[in-house]
């Protein structure tokens, strides 16, 4: 099994264009990237050892070590050899990285191509040993001191369940299916329900001939991004339905379905005209954006736009996104890369940032965190009221705006938004909602009319993406093949969003959504 350059535990994708902007990537990055593209594990081992020796102080040393750990494990033809080779790397890992390294080591053993040849009991013993080492680290004050204090509680909660899925898999390999199921049932109440969890749950339920539950779990594993669970999901589906007919339709329906039920919105008793603006910077190739995307879908489904206005900007992070455009980049620059340095990033009313990254299973947690930050703001007094009407005539959208007062030193922004775009990117999200297409900023006034020419907007996006791809290809992604540029705007579900934002504080004073008639 070949592990990626960046840890799957990350909750944010970072801008891959940074090195291109700096003109020259650090040499070890390019060398590391080239090394892990090799399909031959022994060759990767040799090259990664050379890179490690050449750059002992590299800021990428943990990634180098983890890819070396992966290549060594993959090369081993026995469990005994794999453990010995892993020890060689793990003994050298710095204290702050050891817990993650132990977790990765267990996953590499469970995912080994020859795992079925390993002794189940010995594999279980190895995983239990790594878990014990992880628990020792949690009890070590020196290790905990390496974690920033404001993240310590969150990290500790994550650490407590980090070994449970590998442990459940090891119990299955040892023939202890009911023990494995018990571990997974307990994990469900405290852990993140990701692809690994659903895959393990589906496999153990299938082995216990509980096919209905296995079908649901394995199909969920596929929606979470584990393509290797697809064949077993089809088998479980056939056991329940009698054949595989209808599987693809059912899978697509599951992938587009909101993975939680948002509670009904309760309007404030004494609402004073304030609509909160929630802006999401996301990307269709960004795995941790899934939780944020679905959380925003939950708000779109449950909150009327008079109380909460949603905007979603697509950025090419970590890779190309066909919904990217000049407005999204401009908005990122407006807040600055110190605020919008990666995806997903959420900005509430221009000044509040709330973390919401993760996979599909983290969507409900992201929704709840955002709800706690949004709801109190809806009760605020609106400094200015906004009304707008939007119409489409031919290729032109006209937005007529009315404002109750003129706020000096403020930006009056009018945005053309696509209600829904269907596109399946690398992170598996299919329906992208409230996609920002173009923005115009006007001078403060009591009334204004703004027009958007859709073909001109499409052409601006096409030119922008073409130029962007040339710049990126001069950097670390030289030689990459970019997909067809998708710059067309669907006229069927357009909206106009109008909001007022203070220039200095960036505080959003109010917002309004108008359907384009």
Q: Is the pLDDT of residue 122 over 90?
A: yes
User: What's the Cα-to-Cα distance from 198 to each of 5, 169, 204, 430, rounded to whole Å?
Assistant: 24, 12, 10, 20
Q: Which residue has the higher pLDDT, 274 or 359?
A: 274
Please give the sequence-ordered ranges of beta strands (E in DSSP) within 215-370, or none if there are none: 276-282, 308-314, 342-343, 345-348, 352-353
> For the chain, what is the mean pLDDT?
89
Contacts of 393 (CB under 8 A, 6+ apart): none
Question: Strands 276-282 and 345-348, how do they pair?
Answer: antiparallel
Mean pLDDT, residues 410-421 taken together: 96
Q: Is the pLDDT of residue 450 over 70?
A: yes
State residue 477's pLDDT score. 41
* pTM of this prediction exceeds 0.85: no
Q: How confident is the model over 99-119, as pLDDT tens digits?
A: 999 999 999 999 999 999 999
State residue 12's pLDDT score. 59
Q: Which residue has the higher pLDDT, 192 or 7?
A: 192
- Closest to 234 measured CA to CA, from 250, 247, 223, 217: 247
Distance from C-alpha of 333 to C-alpha of 326, rounded to nearest angstrom: 11
User: What's the Cα-to-Cα distance from 361 to each of 107, 188, 191, rounded to whole Å?
Assistant: 19, 10, 9
* Inter-residue contact 107 to 164 (CB < 8 Å): no
Q: Which residue has the higher pLDDT, 320 or 243?
A: 243
Distance from C-alpha of 455 to C-alpha of 489, rounded to nearest angstrom: 9
* Inter-residue contact 282 to 346 (CB < 8 Å): no
In the DSSP assignment, the letter for residue 97 is: G
Mean pLDDT, residues 88-94 taken together: 94
CB atoms under 10 Å from CB of 77, counted, come to 11
State residue 18's pLDDT score. 32
Q: How confident is the model over 170-197, as pLDDT tens digits?
A: 999 999 999 999 999 999 888 878 889 9
Mean pLDDT, residues 1-18 taken together: 41
Q: How confident is the model over 272-321, as pLDDT tens digits?
A: 999 999 999 999 989 889 999 999 999 999 999 999 999 999 998 877 88
Mean pLDDT, residues 407-415 taken together: 96
The two tokens of residue 320 are 């190309």
Q: To which residue do tokens 């020792």 refer?
A: 136
CB neighbour burial string for 124-135, b if at least 16 within 10 angstroms, e if fewer: bebbbebbebbe
Q: How confident is the model over 456-470, as pLDDT tens digits?
A: 999 998 888 888 877
Contacts of 470 (CB under 8 A, 6+ apart): none
Q: How confident is the model over 469-491, as pLDDT tens digits?
A: 776 644 434 444 455 556 788 88
* Inter-residue contact 184 to 176 (CB < 8 Å): no
Q: Which residue has the higher pLDDT, 338 or 120?
A: 120
Helical axes 326-335 vs 454-473, angle rounded to 10°: 70
Mean pLDDT, residues 62-74 taken together: 94
Report helix, strand or coil for 211: helix
* pLDDT interval class at 5 (50, 70, 90): very low
Distance from C-alpha of 326 to C-alpha of 497, rounded to nearest angstrom: 17
State residue 120's pLDDT score. 96
Q: Is the pLDDT of residue 145 over 60?
A: yes
User: What's the Cα-to-Cα distance from 275 to each of 375, 388, 500, rounded to whole Å?
Assistant: 10, 14, 11
- Closest to 497 measured CA to CA, from 435, 378, 430, 416: 416
Distance from C-alpha of 63 to C-alpha of 54, rounded to nearest angstrom: 15
In the DSSP assignment, the letter for residue 117 is: G
Distance from C-alpha of 386 to C-alpha of 69, rounded to nearest angstrom: 58
Percent of the chain with pLDDT over 70: 92
Report helix, strand or coil for 487: coil
State residue 10's pLDDT score. 42
State residue 483's pLDDT score. 55
Mean pLDDT, residues 381-393 taken together: 96
- Omega before residue 318 within 30° of 0, cis: yes
Q: How confident is the model over 26-54, as pLDDT tens digits?
A: 788 888 988 888 778 999 999 999 999 99
Mean pLDDT, residues 212-225 taken together: 92
Q: What is the DSSP track for 406-462? A: --TTEEEEEEEEEEEEE---TT---EEEEEEEEEEEE---SEEEEEEEHHHHHHHHH
């Amino acid at each position: 099994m070949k592990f990626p350059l960046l840890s799957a535990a990350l909750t944010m994708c970072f801008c891959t264009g940074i090195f291109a902007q700096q003109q020259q990537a650090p040499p070890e990055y390019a060398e590391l990237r080239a090394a892990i593209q090799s399909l031959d594990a022994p060759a990767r081992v040799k090259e990664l050892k050379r890179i490690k020796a050449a750059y002992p102080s590299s800021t990428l040393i943990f990634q180098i070590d983890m890819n070396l750990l992966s290549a060594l494990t993959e090369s081993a033809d026995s469990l005994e050899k794999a453990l010995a080779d892993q020890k060689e790397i793990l003994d050298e890992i710095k204290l702050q990285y050891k817990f993650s390294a132990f977790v990765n080591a267990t996953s590499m053993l469970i995912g080994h191509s020859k795992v079925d040849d390993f002794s189940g009991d010995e594999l279980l013993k190895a995983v239990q040993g790594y878990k014990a080492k992880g628990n020792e680290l949690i009890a070590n004050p020196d290790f905990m001191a390496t974690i920033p204090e404001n993240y310590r509680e969150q990290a500790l909660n994550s650490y407590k369940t980090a070994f449970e899925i590998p442990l459940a898999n090891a119990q299955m390999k040892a023939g202890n299916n009911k023990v494995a199921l018990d571990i997974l049932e307990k994990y469900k109440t405290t852990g993140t329900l990701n692809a690994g969890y659903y895959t393990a749950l589906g496999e153990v339920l299938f082995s216990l001939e509980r096919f209905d539950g296995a079908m649901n779990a394995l199909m969920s594993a596929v929606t979470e991004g584990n393509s290797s669970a697809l064949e077993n999901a089809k088998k479980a589906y056939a056991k329940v339905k009698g054949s595989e007919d209808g599987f693809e339709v059912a899978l697509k329906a599951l992938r587009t379905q909101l993975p939680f039920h948002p509670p009904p919105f309760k309007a404030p008793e004494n609402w004073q005209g304030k609509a909160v603006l929630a802006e999401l910077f996301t990307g269709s190739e960004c795995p941790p954006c899934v939780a944020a995307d679905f959380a925003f879908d939950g708000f779109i489904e449950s909150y009327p736009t008079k109380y909460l206005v949603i905007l979603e900007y697509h950025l090419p992070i970590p890779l190309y996104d066909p919904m990217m455009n000049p407005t999204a980049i401009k908005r990122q620059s407006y807040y600055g890369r110190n605020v919008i340095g990666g995806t997903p990033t959420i900005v509430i009313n221009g000044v509040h940032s709330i973390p919401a990254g993760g996979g599909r299973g983290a969507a409900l947690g992201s929704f709840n965190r955002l709800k706690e930050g949004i709801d109190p703001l809806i009760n605020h007094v609106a400094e200015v009221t906004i009304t707008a009407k939007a119409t489409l005539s031919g290729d032109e959208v006209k937005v007529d705006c009315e404002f109750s007062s003129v706020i000096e030193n403020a930006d009056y922004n009018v945005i053309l938004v696509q209600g829904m775009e269907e596109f399946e990117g690398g992170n598996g999200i299919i329906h992208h909602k409230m996609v920002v297409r173009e923005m115009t900023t006007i001078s403060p006034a009591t009334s204004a009319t703004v027009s958007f020419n859709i073909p001109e907007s499409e052409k601006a996006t096409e030119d922008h993406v073409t130029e962007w791809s040339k710049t990126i290809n001069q950097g670390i992604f030289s030689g990459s093949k970019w997909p067809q540029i998708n710059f067309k705007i669907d006229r069927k579900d357009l909206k106009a969003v109008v909001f007022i934002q203070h220039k200095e504080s960036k505080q959003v004073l109010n917002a309004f959504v108008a359907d384009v008639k």
